Amino acid sequence: MGSEADPPTATPLTGGCGCGAVRWELSELPIGCAYCHCTRCRRRTGTSVSMTALARADTFTITAGEGSISAWRPETGWHKHFCGECGSALFTTNPEDDSLIGMRMGGFDEDPGVRPAFHQFTAYAPAWAPVPDDGLPRFEERVDYAKLAEEARRDAG
Ligand SMILES: [Zn+2]
Ligand SMILES: [Zn+2]
């Protein structure tokens, strides 16, 4: 993942929410990113698709506004953290694997250097926003991010 990205951006990468209450840093570049067309992303973003970058959780630090962060914690799946002041999507965490974190692409201040590698949950794309024919792999259901990260590490190694 990320092989077509521009030259790496300087680290730490910074980002935050729309109102500025919450700020964060990543000490290393993300592993990769992808499009998600699931129903939950549609509801929580108010639009058809979400872009999320996968990063190692131990590279992530909240630098301001931790007390302003709220989360949607569905019974299954990743926990969706957002700014409780302005509603901006921030990041997502897996209650079953705390080694990885999903950073919402819109939160980065600068280009994080990764480009989308695939589309997931394409079976749920709404009729009013079909999955674009951009040549990327498509998966009807969830993609195992941890497995992809492991493959990316193997490729890099
Ligand atoms: Zn905010
Ligand atoms: Zn989704």
* Entry pTM: 0.87
Q: What single DSSP character describes residue 40?
A: H
Ligand nearest to the Cα of 24, by number: 1
Q: Separation of 75 CA from ligand 1 center, angstroms?
A: 25
In the numeric block, which tokens belong to residue 152?
Answer: 């990316």
Q: Is position 53 within any domain?
A: yes
User: Which of the ligands is closest to the CA of residue 85?
Assistant: 1
Distance of CA 128 to CAs 47, 48, 49, 124, Å? 10, 8, 11, 11
Residue 86: which domain range?
A: 13-126+134-156
Looking at the domain assignment, is residue 76 inside a domain? Answer: yes
Q: Which ligand is nearest to the CA of 21?
A: 1
Q: What percent of the chain is modeled with pLDDT above 90?
A: 83
Residue 105: phi and psi, rounded to 5, are -60, -35
Instruction: For ligand 2, an ion, list residues with CB under 5 A.
Output: 36, 38, 41
Residue 32 lies in a domain: yes
User: How much distance in Å is there from the Cα of 64 to the middle of ligand 1?
Assistant: 11
What's the confidence (pLDDT) of residue 134? 96
- Segment 88-94 shows an average pLDDT of 97
In a domain, 1, yes or no: no
How far away, in angstroms, is 92 Cα from ligand 1 center?
16
- Is 116 within a domain? yes
> What span, in angstroms and rounded, lies between the C-alpha atoms of 120 and 70?
25
Per-residue confidence band for 143, with pLDDT thresholds at 50, 70 and 90:
confident
Top pLDDT among 150 and 136 is at: 136
Residue 6 lies in a domain: no
Q: In what order do the strands lie in the sheet with 69-72?
A: 69-72, 79-83, 89-94, 97-104, 50-56, 32-36, 116-120
Q: Residue 92: give its domain's CATH number.
A: 2.170.150.70
- 78 domain-assigned: yes
How many domains does the chain fold into? 1
Residues 6 or more apart from 149 whose CB is under 8 A from it?
Answer: 31, 32, 54, 100
Q: How far is the CA of 102 from the centre of ligand 1 (A)?
A: 18
Of residues 61, 101, 93, the one with CA closest to residue 77: 93
Q: How far is the CA of 41 from the centre of ligand 2 (A)?
A: 4
Residue 2 lies inside a defined structural domain of this protein: no
